[in-house]
Structure formats: structure tokens, C-alpha cells
A = this chain, B = another copy of it.
Amino acid sequence: MQVQLTTNILKANDAIAALNRKLFLEKKIFVVNIMSSPGAGKTTILEKLLPMLPQDIKAAVIEGDLTTTKDAERIEKTGVYAVQINTLGGCHLDANMINQVLEKLPLEEINLLIIENVGNLVCPAGFDLGEDLKMVVLSVTEGNDKPVKYPVIFREAKVAVLNKIDLLNYVDFDIKQYEEDLNMLNPEQIRFNVSSRTGEGLDDLAKFLVEKVRAKRDGV
């Protein structure tokens, strides 16, 4: 019974996600869905990354949170347009929530839409939003055992970002084990090791995203 319900909810979600994806294709907007635990540094990465993007990349951000508009306010300080979705207790965004805020976004002007999901390593993994790319962020302070403990989200993510590498000397994080575990779960995954505090590694991540945005815009 419960499984049946979950299936129905996911079917409805997938139908709306398909509508979102069709619209993003028409408008040539590349869409990234960023997921992580609370406090892994999603917003801080965006604060550093958005100002690094070249002039031809026009971005907007959708911020998902249970409550508060804190993250959207932080993003808007970078000069990038941000819309906040409050899930009022819900542990993830779904395709319908995204669909309902699309009219608030300048879709004719942007070519990159970044969706920052609710801080959660479990719930967001199962919900397609219509994005081109799922990105998971893990911080070294969370421990290298997280991919095997939360395998669904790390398997789904085309890109894995390891954040807070400036703290590697102060925590017990086995990068080799982390990479081996990810290779088991998702051998095709693209990986970046960054510090949202010092900015290290973010240039590579920015370059990767810029290439993806231009390829979709130019129909390559």
C-alpha cells in the first residue's frame, strides 16, 4: 500500500519533471540540481562560484529550504537573481514546486539555472526536477563513509564535489577510500575537490559548468 502510494507520487513527479525538462530545452537553459547534507557548503560554493562565471553565462538560482529566506538573500548579494521555495517541513524539492516558481524567473534572459535542494542526503535523491545534472556536495568534516552509507544520492549524481578540503589536516578523512567507494557506486562520475572558504578548485568546477551551459545553448 505504502509502496503503491510512493510509486504514484513518483509517477506524478516524473510527469511534471518531463514538462520542466521540455521547457528548459526550448529555452536552452542548463539546469543543475545541487544536493548535500545541511552545512556541507552548497550556498557558500555558489557565493564564490557565481561571480567567477564569464559574462555570457546568465544565471539564476532557486533556493530550497524548510523555512527562512536566508540562502536566497545570500545569493542575491552576488547580483544573481534568486527565488526561495519554502517546503514548510518537506525534506526535498519536487518537480511541481520547481514548475510553480518558473514564472517568477527571467527564463528568456538566463542560460543557467541552479537549484539548491533542501539540505538532506536522503529525500532529494529520488525526485527528478527536470534538471540536466545532479551534483552532490560532501564536506570532509562529514567523514569519508558517507557515500556507502547514503548510496542512492551518490549513485545518482553525475558530479561529486568534495568541499572544505582546507580542513583536511584537522579531520580524519580518507580521500583514497572516498574515491574508491565512489568508483564502486558510480565509475563515470566527474569529481572536484574544492574549498568554498579559500576558493581552491572552484575554477575547475566553474570551467566545467561553463562548457556545459555553452554546449546546451549552442545546441552542441
Binding site for B on A (CB under 8 A): 5, 37-40, 65-68, 70, 89-91, 118-123, 126, 139, 141-143, 145-146, 148-152, 164, 166-167, 170-172, 197
Contacts and interface: CB of A to CB of B under 8 A. Distances in A.
A149 B70 contact: yes
A183 to B, nearest CB: 17
A85 B37 CA distance: 21
Given A141-B139, A166-B170, A170-B170, A119 B37 contact: yes
Contact of A38 (B66, B146, B164): B146
B66 A151 contact: yes
Given A141-B167, A167-B170, A39 B122 contact: no
Interface SS of chain A: loop
A139 B164 CA distance: 14
Q: Which are the 9 A-B pairs with shortest beta-carbon distances?
A: A39-B142, A141-B141, A91-B122, A37-B37, A37-B38, A39-B143, A38-B121, A91-B123, A68-B149
A149 B91 contact: no
A40 B89 CA distance: 21
A39 B65 CA distance: 20
Contacts of A172: 197
Given A37-B38, A91-B91, A141-B139, A65 B119 contact: no
A184 to B, nearest CB: 13
Contacts of A151: 66-67
